[in-house]
Chain A
Amino acid sequence: MANIKLSHMNHWKTIPYRSIDNFREYYYEDRSNNVYFQDWDRILRYHKALGYDGIEVAPWDLNEILGLFGSIAAFRDYVAGHGLAVSGMFHGVERAHIAGCFEQNLAEGKAAVDMIAALGGETMGTCPGSDYYSAPGPLTEEGIQNTAKILNAIGEYAVDHGVKLGIHNEFFCAINKDNHRHLLEITDSRYVFYYLDTAQISIIGEDVVKFYDDYHERMCGFHLKDTADPKLPDAVRYGPNVEIQDDGHRWFWEPGEGVIDFESLWKLMKKHNFRGWVSVEDDGTPDLLASMALSSYYVHEKLKPIYW
């Protein structure tokens, strides 16, 4: 059995059909390629064809999923029917640094864990708070402690339900270069893990390979993506609305298309015997199918020979 299971983070926003059974008729309405990207059936088939073992669900998909499939269980079974599994779901804890938001965040976190468990997923990559600009940063020690407290609480519930909460940095978060190691170290390692987004952590200024080596015992999964913008200046990361740039500049690229040393990372994963999900995240791509293929090629041809 493989040590690594390959998933793909769902950025197919939004998939409006469950299955298009009158595909030829529908195609001839407009004769465009749009129809190839509109139903879960085909998109799941693309996953399987391109060598993915699973799909990672996004919370913004849930409304449409429930509308199309009627229940989470039905969606889980539909995915399984395509030879795939749901690896997990992304979650964000807004205003984690504010004590007054604890109860609401706990309720929402538990609901997300329940959803992941119902999906058969194992991971909850979790953004640990608001963006730096609106928080606003820098966070006080009290704010960091509050963040740790809510993550511990959600994380304990998650572990009790077979799910692992992993801190997932965003390069524009209030939890950032100066405090994210501190946050990780004050959380309870029984309940709070780390979900390593290789591009995000590079952009905030960490060396991905060293970071993984330092915290390999806490790792519960990966968002695998590349970047051409490592060590982005604070002034950029801490500004308003930075994730989407006005000029269309892309922070993220397919693995192998940027500057991250994935091969060294993979050698360490072998050294530390990582077992679990690696979720490719083709965030911000103009063509998800092309990016899924490119990413899969790189993973299977360049990384798999090192460790799998």
Chain B
Amino acid sequence: MKHGISLQLVDTHNQQPNRNRRECKYYWDELYTLVAAGGFHEIETPYDPMWAFGGRAGVPLVYGNIKAKDGTAESYLRRLNAAGIERVLGVHYMPGMFFNGASPTSPGANLDGYVGALLHFGEEAVDYVADIGGDYVTMSATPKIGDLEHAYGADFEAGCAAVLKATAAAVEKLAERANARGVKFCLKNEFWGLLRGEAVVDFVKGLNEKVWLDLDSAELAIAGVDPAAFARAHAAEIGVVHYSDTAFVDDQACYRQRNPEFPAVRASKVYRDLGDGKLDFAALERALTEGGYAGAAVVGCRDSYDVCRSILRARSYLNTRLPER
């Protein structure tokens, strides 16, 4: 199995020393060479609409910024190639900022605004992946449960039903566009979303367009699902796999918190470097292979404290702990 790496290892949201560098083009230009030096030649990038605003065009996480700096996806890819990156496998698209994000003073939900923005940037993400020759867009399926509870209050159940109905319609539109352009549209079921764990499976089956599953090992494990079992059960429906490690056990209903990736009751790093958590990737890889999964596995060391260390830890783990590929 081929292994790519997600550039989501760069934390672009939370405070760290030297965070300011990540808003500059030079940081990413060098990062590509470091990723390649770590033996990873295929990447996934976050598709994060936050970086479409504020004049941070050096951050290559939305199509508009790539066009601003390189003109075209093809030109950007040539620059990646020169740095040792052969392909952009796909993107992880995160529309959650638009749910209550535009107006933090507004107490209610803004479902129409969320869906409108989701479709706008989602279409952009699909076009970007198609133009750069990638394989997939995986989208964070729903807003955080914590945000939904805050927005809907006593109408939580009805609100979630409305969100899922609107999400289904939007996903079908995006999947139709993706399928027409030869791109797989996948849903990522974070542990903090409405489609957490196994819930995503029936949701996807109920859609009128072909949509694939994103097996993210940490997201499944935290939601109480064995990633290898999930792989055996659904290998034929998996469009992308993320090898993401964790040691986090959600014994504080963290999945319902407003900022679930930073557990409020007892602080812990939810996402760990490969090998730094407790997940069994050898078992997962066996299950995927036996199930006939033929795609790549994308290593995700999300929101790393030390990007270069994370790259090398991942390389070391793959070299020493996984069977011959």
User: Which positions in A face B, CB cutoff 8 Å?
Assistant: 12-18, 20-23, 25-26, 29-30, 32-35, 37-39, 62-64, 66-68, 111, 114-115, 131, 172, 240-248, 284-288
Contacts and interface: CB of A to CB of B under 8 A. Distances in A.
B266 A22 contact: yes
Contacts of B25: 246-247
A284 B20 contact: yes
B206 interface: no
B14 A248 contact: no
B18 A287 contact: yes
Contact of B104 (A21, A63, A241, A286): A63
B38 to A, nearest CB: 19
B267 A286 contact: no
Contacts of B17: 33-34, 37, 286-287
Contacts of B258: 67-68
Contacts of A25: 266-267
Contacts of A39: 267
A283 B101 CA distance: 23
B306 interface: yes
Contacts, number: 109
Interface in B54-81: 55-58, 68-69
Interface residues of B, number: 39
A18 B267 CA distance: 10
A34 B18 CA distance: 11
Given A37-B15, A68-B259, A286-B20, A241 B105 contact: no
A29 B13 contact: no
Nearest to B13: A14
A29 B100 CA distance: 33
Contacts of B26: 246-248
A11 B67 CA distance: 28
A189 to B, nearest CB: 29
Given A17-B267, A32-B305, A62 B105 contact: yes
B168 to A, nearest CB: 26
A241 B16 contact: no
Which of A25, A32, A37, A244 has the most CB atoms of chain B within a 10 A radius of its CB? A244
A63 B100 contact: yes
B104 A66 contact: yes
Which of B15, B25, B261, B305 has the most CB atoms of chain A within a 10 A radius of its CB? B15
Contacts of A29: 268-269
B259 A67 contact: yes
A136 to B, nearest CB: 14
Contacts of B305: 30, 32, 34
B104 A244 contact: no
Which of A16, A20, A32, A111 has the most CB atoms of chain B within a 10 A radius of its CB? A16
Contact of B23 (A242, A244, A288): A244
The 3 closest A-B pairs by CB, nearest first: A67-B258, A246-B25, A16-B262
A63 B144 CA distance: 13
A32 B306 contact: yes
Interface in B251-309: 258-259, 261-262, 264, 266-269, 305-306
B146 interface: yes
Contacts of A23: 267
Interface in B1-42: 13-21, 23-27
